[in-house]
Amino acid sequence: MPKIVDHEERRREIANVALDLIANAGTSAVTFRGVAEASGWSAGVIGHYFKNRHDLLFAALTRAAELSGEHQRSIANTFEGRQALEWILEEELPVDNRRLALARIFVFYYAEAGTDPAVRQEIDKYLRRWRRQTEIAVKQAQALGDLDPTLSPATVAADLVAYADGLSIQALFNDDLMSRIRKSSPIREWVDLLRPQSNSR
Amino acid sequence: MPKIVDHEERRREIANVALDLIANAGTSAVTFRGVAEASGWSAGVIGHYFKNRHDLLFAALTRAAELSGEHQRSIANTFEGRQALEWILEEELPVDNRRLALARIFVFYYAEAGTDPAVRQEIDKYLRRWRRQTEIAVKQAQALGDLDPTLSPATVAADLVAYADGLSIQALFNDDLMSRIRKSSPIREWVDLLRPQSNSR
C-alpha cells in the first residue's frame, strides 16, 4: 500500500466494487474474498477498511444512496418539471446494471430495517430525499401546466415514489415485469394520469 | 401430546402464533423459545414440527400467503368491480395487526428471494395470485363502467399491485406514511384516476 491513502476515497472504491458484484451476482457475492478477487486488492487490505462482511454491505448501501442522490441532483439541475419528475422516479428502476445493484441492496436492507436502527435511519434518509426531490419536480411541473395544480405535491410525490419502489422490487422477482420496465416506462403512463383536467386523457 | 394430531393443522397453528409475534415485535421475535412462550406448547413440541428457526419463519411466510389468498377470494366472492378491486389491494396494506405481520414477513423474505430459489418461488406465486385477482376485478369494474375500458387489465393490475406493495413496504419505515394509509386509502384516489374519460375528474 502507498503511504498516503485517502481513507474515505478507498472505502468508496471498495464499496463500488461491492455494488458491481451485487449487480452481477446479488448480495451473496459480497464477501472479503469476492471483493478481493474483483478489485485486485488483498482481503487483508479490505479487512483494513471494513470490520466484517456486514460493515462492507452497509458501506455498499450508503454508497448506493449517495450515488442515487448525486444522480437525482444532476437530473434536477439539467431538466425541469415533468421530465425531471419522470427521470427522478426512473432513477430507481433496475433498468441497467448500476440501478439493478441499487434495487438489490435496498431490498436486502429493507428486511433488516425492522431490527437495526442504523439501517432504518439510512433507509428513511434515502426515501425522504427521494420524496423531496420528487416533490420539487411535481411543483415545477404544476407551475409549467404539465400536472394538475389541485393535487397535493407532497402526497403525489409519496405515492409516485411508493409506486416506483414497488415496481423496482417486484421486477427483481418477476421476469415479465423486468422486461416491461426495460422496454418502456410505466412511470410515464401514470404521470399522464395526473395531467391537468382540461387536457386530460 | 395426544396420540392423534393433525400434523398440518398443528403446523398451521404454530405458524399463526409466529405471525402474531411478527405483528407485535417483528421477525426477530420468532424463535422456538418465543413461540413456545406465546403458544403454551413446549419448545420440544415446536421442534417436532419444525427443523429450525428458518423452517418456522418459512412456514409463517407460506401461512401469510395462504391467509392473504383466502381473504382475496372471500372479497372477490362478496364484492364486485371497483369495490372488490380496492379491497383486494388494501388487503396487503399494514393497516391492522394481521396485515402488519403480512407486510413484515414479505419484506423479510423479499431480501432472501435473491439467493433462495424456494423463497423466490413462494414470493412469485404470491405476487402472481395477487395480480390475477386484481386483474379479474379490473375487468369487472370495466364491464360495470367504473374503469376506463381502453386500459389493459393485466398492465393496470401489475401497476396497482406494485403501487400497493410499495406503499405497504415504505409504511414500515415511515410513520407519516403509516398514519396516512391508516387514516384514508391512497389506493382509492389512484383508482379514481382510472375512471372512464367521460366522467373523469
- Which residues touch A184 (CB under 8 Å, ≥6 apart)? none
B156: closest CA among B199, B187, B184?
B187
pLDDT of the residue at A141: 96
d(CA A177, CA B135): 15
Among all residues of chain B, which has the CA nearest to that of A22? B114
Q: How confident is the model at residue B200 (pLDDT cuts 50, 70, 90)?
A: very low
A192 touches chain B (CB under 8 A): no
Closest Cα of chain A to B185: distance in Å?
A: 11
- pLDDT, position A200: 45
> Does the CA dihedral A7-A12-A17-A22 come out positive or negative?
positive
As a whole number of angstroms, the distance between CA A163 and CA B184 comes to 17
Instruction: For residues B59 and A35, give the distance between their C-alpha atoms in angstroms, rounded to a whole number.
Output: 34
Q: Mean pLDDT throughout B142-155?
A: 95
Q: Which residues of chain A have pLDDT under 50?
A: 199-201
Measure Cα distances from A112 to A26, A136, B192 in Å. 16, 30, 35
Whether B3 has a pLDDT exceeding 90, the answer reads no
Pick the residue from chain A with its C-alpha nearest to B185. Answer: A159
A100: its cell numbers:
439493478
Site of grid cell 478481493: A36
Average model confidence (pLDDT) for chain B? Answer: 90
Query: Using one digit for the tens of pLDDT, what is the confidence trace for B6-56?
Result: 888 999 999 999 999 998 888 889 999 999 999 999 999 999 999 999 999
Query: What is the separation, in whole angstroms, between the first and last Cα of chain B?
Result: 62
pLDDT in tens, A64-84: 999 999 999 999 999 989 999
Which amino acid does the sequence have at A6? D
pLDDT for A199 equals 47
Give the pLDDT confidence score for residue A95 in this predicted structure: 93
Q: Cα separation of A158 and B23, whole Å?
A: 24
Ranges of H-type helices in chain B: 7-25, 32-39, 43-49, 53-78, 81-90, 97-112, 117-143, 153-171, 175-183, 186-192
Task: Specify the higher pLDDT residue, B113 or B189.
Answer: B189
Q: How far apart are CA B145 and CA B196, in angstroms?
A: 7
User: According to the model, what pLDDT value does residue B4 have?
Assistant: 63
**ipTM of this predicted complex?**
0.88
Query: Are the C-beta atoms of B162 and B89 separated by less than 8 Å?
Result: no
Cα–Cα dist A78/B148, whole Å:
35
From A149, A127, A188, A101, select the one nearest B159 (Cα to Cα). A188
Nearest chain A CA: its distance from B34 CA (Å): 16
Residue A122 distance to chain B (closest CA, Å): 10
